[in-house]
Amino acid sequence: MLNGFFAAAITVAIWGLTFVFTKSLLDIFTPVEILFIRFMLGTVALTIAMPRRLKTRGWKEEKYLIVAGLTGIFLYYFLENVSMLWTSASNAGVIVSTAPFFTAMLSKEKKGWCFFAGFAVAITGIAMISFSSLDFSAESLKGDLLALAAAFVWAFYAIASKKIAGFGYSPLLTVRRSFIYGMAFMLVPLLLWNNIGTERDIFTFGNIAGLSFLGLAASALCFVLWNIAVEKLGPVKTSIFIYLVPVITVAASAVFLEEPVTLLSASGTLLTLFGLFLSGFKK
């Protein structure tokens, strides 16, 4: 049990910083370029760590790896990255933390009044965060809604990863296979949306460090740790650790990106976290 808690805590601590790194890289790269490079580096790292091939028992298992690649690798991060073209890193970090709601909604666990009350409170908090932006507009609202859509998509990955964990394979092999499927889904938007031919300074220390952090720490390492946590704790309990992500993201965004923390945004963040906490109570 302790190993599961430790794995989840380390994962969300690193994931809390990814919003800051991604936001800064969006000045140079498109959202899908960041995504593809990130998971390509992660795939290479996992292959070096465990070069043997994953042999599944056929389509009945492979389909869950495909779903994991589509939802948790491609759609979730694509929506998250695109959202930060229009909204702040701190907004995105808080909003995607609502993923446990959607994970619980898709699970078969019985839900009491606390869950629905918590959901209402958290949505109120998200609304406060959105309207607290100093440059609030239709575009910033669009970014916030895309971040919310990313949280919804993550729930499908959480359920799929629980099923995958039960197959008994090494997390390194299953995560790598999911990465490969995710990158396959990225190919079309990558070809349609890129900055090839645009003059830009790509090979700077900051860009290389940021992409390496996203690819090696936030992807290769964290996805393995996350799958270990899901195996030990279950998808709903593990998703609760996402509560830590917005706290880290808001603090890091204020320090490194100088994003303002207004009274309304701070209140909205606390309200969202309280709603998440309230939803976890049982009758």
Q: What is the band of 54 on the pLDDT scale with cuts at 50, 70, 90?
A: very high
Q: What Rg value do the Cα atoms of the chain yield, rounded?
A: 18
Answer whether residue 140 shows pLDDT above 90.
Answer: no
How far is Cα of residue 8 from the mean position of the Cα atoms in its chain?
13
What tens digit of pLDDT does each residue of 223-234 get? 888 878 888 888
Percentage, residues of the chain above pLDDT 90? 44
Instruction: Give me 258's structure tokens.
Output: 């100088």
Q: Which of 121-125, 165-169, 192-196 has the lowest mean pLDDT?
A: 192-196
Give me the mean pLDDT over the 76-85 stretch. Answer: 96
* C-alpha neighbours within 13 Å on the C-beta side of residue 68: 24
Is the pLDDT score of 134 beyond 60? no
Q: Is the pLDDT of residue 165 over 70?
A: yes
Residue 152, pLDDT > 60, answer yes
Judge contact between 247 and 16, C-beta under 8 A.
yes
Higher pLDDT, 84 or 118: 84
Is it the case that residue 142 has pLDDT exceeding 80? yes
Is residue 281 pLDDT above 70, yes or no?
Answer: no
Q: Which has the higher per-residue pLDDT, 247 or 132?
A: 247
Residue range 134-139: mean pLDDT, rounded: 68
SS3 of 26-47: CCCCCHHHHHHHHHHHHHHHHH
Per residue in 7-52, pLDDT (tens digit) is 888 998 898 899 999 999 999 999 999 999 999 999 999 999 899 9
Structure tokens at 133: 């932006």
What is the model's pTM?
0.85
| Residue entry with tokens 């952090």 | 213
Question: Tokens 């465990």 label which residue?
Answer: 50
> What rounded mean pLDDT belongs to the chain?
87
The arithmetic mean of pLDDT across residues 113-136, rounded, is: 79
**Nearest-CA neighbor of 18 among 223, 155, 164?**
223
Please state, for a pLDDT cut of 70, what percent of the chain lies above it.
96
| Boundaries of every domain in the chain | 2-98+137-259
- pLDDT, residue 120, reads 87
Residue 282: its pLDDT value, please? 57
Higher pLDDT, 78 or 192: 78
2: pLDDT strictly greater than 80:
no
Q: Rounded CA gap, 247 and 127, in Å?
A: 17
- What confidence tens digit (pLDDT) does each residue in 97-120 have? 888 888 888 877 777 788 888 888
